[in-house]
Amino acid sequence: MDVVDFLTQRERDILHLIVEVYTVTAEPVASRVLVQTFDIGLSSATIRNVMSSLEQKGYIRQIYTSSGRVPTDRGYYLYVQQLMPSKNRSRKQGVYLKRAFHSNKRSGESFVQNVAHVLAKLTEFTAIISLPRGHQENIDKVKIIRLDVKRVMLILLFKNGMIRQKIVRLIFPETDVALEILAELLMARLKGQKVDPRHEFVRSGLLDEMCALDVFCASEELIIEGRENLMKHPEFYQYSTLSDFIRKLDDPEDLLTILSDSLERDKVNIYIGKKDLGFEDCSIVLANYNLRERPSGSIGVIGPKRMRYEYVIPIVENVADFVTDVLKNSDLYSDI
């Protein structure tokens, strides 16, 4: 959403202050608050006139009968695009993030879960990360490696460089040659090719059982951490609002739509008040990370529109860069 309406410098300055005060207080901003808080050399009457103009242009709105105003989605977008103070991503912050990932590592947690956990902790919002797509049609090769007499490692290599693996216990031991044949049959089945129904692995049902393993499914595409952070923000104090939002997270089809859209856009993308997808009261800040030098997933946070964008955006971008670097320097991409 690009904001192109012309605003005077005074209107821009007042809008800037309204957004910053509302971000801190979560209360509608009145002209007298601006006069008392900032040395801007304007009377309350003058500020009210400016606020009236901003309201007519759709950048702020009145939510109660009081004189206070709050930013609209349009106002937030203008703030993010043109008004907010720039906060450069420093090398120091990158080092801090790396330390945070190591110090907050939880037992039994995958790399991507750790990333989401740290991001949620740093921002005090809900962290969301989409995993690289692992659809069956993107599988490039299937390998089956023997671990012991009845256990094998099933390995899927995807075209985007992703690797998935799963330990499978067989009812009957199989030779190495038989395992190679089983891998070939699995690959053929995944490509939609016909498999001889008389083959032993087909008749025994082993091929069908292998194809049904969860490692082949692409449903686990989203990691969410920090749901409890929502309760820290006034926008979610009401139980009905909080429960409605939690339901949106538990059925994340619309959220995945936004994450997929981010992959097709800029490296950093900000969504404010997505009414069409049920996130009219939220902002979502996303940054894409790369795998094999291509955008493969999105990392970000979701929270109230009243967030400190100048603080959140650099953190999200730094975290995405960190994930890209880790994937670039890893020998294998497996279960991130």
Query: Would you put residue 64 in left (φ > 0), alpha (ψ -120 to 50) or beta?
Result: beta
Both 276 and 238 in one domain: the answer is yes
Token pair belonging to 137: 């049609």
Domain with 204 in it? 136-218
Domain containing 160 — which CATH number? 3.30.390
Report the helix count and the strand count for the chain, using DSSP H and E: 12, 10
Both 146 and 121 in one domain: the answer is no
Least trusted range by pLDDT, from 22-26, 65-69, 243-247:
65-69
Mean pLDDT of 287-295: 84
Both 174 and 185 in one domain: the answer is yes
Both 108 and 160 in one domain: the answer is no
Both 248 and 104 in one domain: the answer is yes
Please say which residue of 49, 65, 83 terminates a domain: 83
Q: How far is CA 278 from CA 84, 101, 131, 151, 272, in A?
A: 26, 32, 22, 46, 11
Longest dimension (CA), the chain: 89
- For position 89, what pLDDT does the model report? 58
Asked if residue 335 belongs to a domain, the reply is no
E strand map for the chain? 60-61, 70-71, 126-130, 139-146, 151-158, 163-169, 222-225, 268-274, 279-291, 294-304
- For position 331, what pLDDT does the model report? 47
Asked if residue 4 belongs to a domain, the reply is no
Which one-letter DSSP state was computed for residue 69?
Answer: B
Q: What does the pLDDT look like over 204-230, one tens digit per residue?
A: 777 777 766 655 555 446 889 999 998
Q: How many independent structural domains does the chain possess? A: 3
Asked if residue 320 belongs to a domain, the reply is yes
Q: What does the pLDDT look like over 93-152, one tens digit per residue?
A: 667 777 777 666 554 456 788 889 999 999 999 999 987 655 555 677 888 888 888 888
Q: Where are the alpha helices (DSSP H) in 43-90?
A: 44-56, 73-78
For the CA atoms of 49, 55, 61, 62, the dihedral, rounded to the nearest 10 degrees, stands at 40
136's CB contacts (< 8 A; 6+ apart) are 190, 216, 218
Least trusted range by pLDDT, from 69-78, 249-258, 264-273, 324-333:
324-333
Chain centre to alpha carbon of residue 15: 28
Both 46 and 32 in one domain: the answer is yes
| pLDDT at residue 55 is higher than 70 | yes
Which one-letter DSSP state was computed for residue 238?
Answer: S
- For position 334, what pLDDT does the model report? 46
- For position 332, what pLDDT does the model report? 39
Both 15 and 77 in one domain: the answer is yes
Long-range pairs for 189-197 at CB < 8 Å and ≥24 separation?
A: 190/136, 190/137, 190/139, 190/142, 190/216
- For position 3, what pLDDT does the model report? 52
331/302: higher pLDDT: 302
Single out the residue of 14, 11, 22, 2 nearest to residue 80, CA to CA: 2
Both 196 and 325 in one domain: the answer is no
For residue 93, the one-letter residue type is Q
Single out the residue of 95, 129, 124 nearest to residue 114, CA to CA: 129
- For position 72, what pLDDT does the model report? 96
Q: What does the pLDDT look like over 315-328, one tens digit per residue?
A: 999 999 988 888 77
Single out the residue of 5, 20, 284, 248 nearest to residue 129, CA to CA: 284
What is the per-residue burial (b if ≥16 Cβ within 10 Å, else e) of 140-162? Answer: eebbbeeeeeeebebbbbbebbb
Asked if residue 299 belongs to a domain, the reply is yes
| pLDDT at residue 286 is higher than 80 | yes
Domain containing 38 — which CATH number? 1.10.10.10
- For position 104, what pLDDT does the model report? 60
Both 69 and 188 in one domain: the answer is no
- For position 106, what pLDDT does the model report? 54
- For position 52, what pLDDT does the model report? 95
Kindly report the average pLDDT of the chain as a whole number. 82
- For position 90, what pLDDT does the model report? 55
| pLDDT at residue 241 is higher than 80 | yes
294/37: higher pLDDT: 37
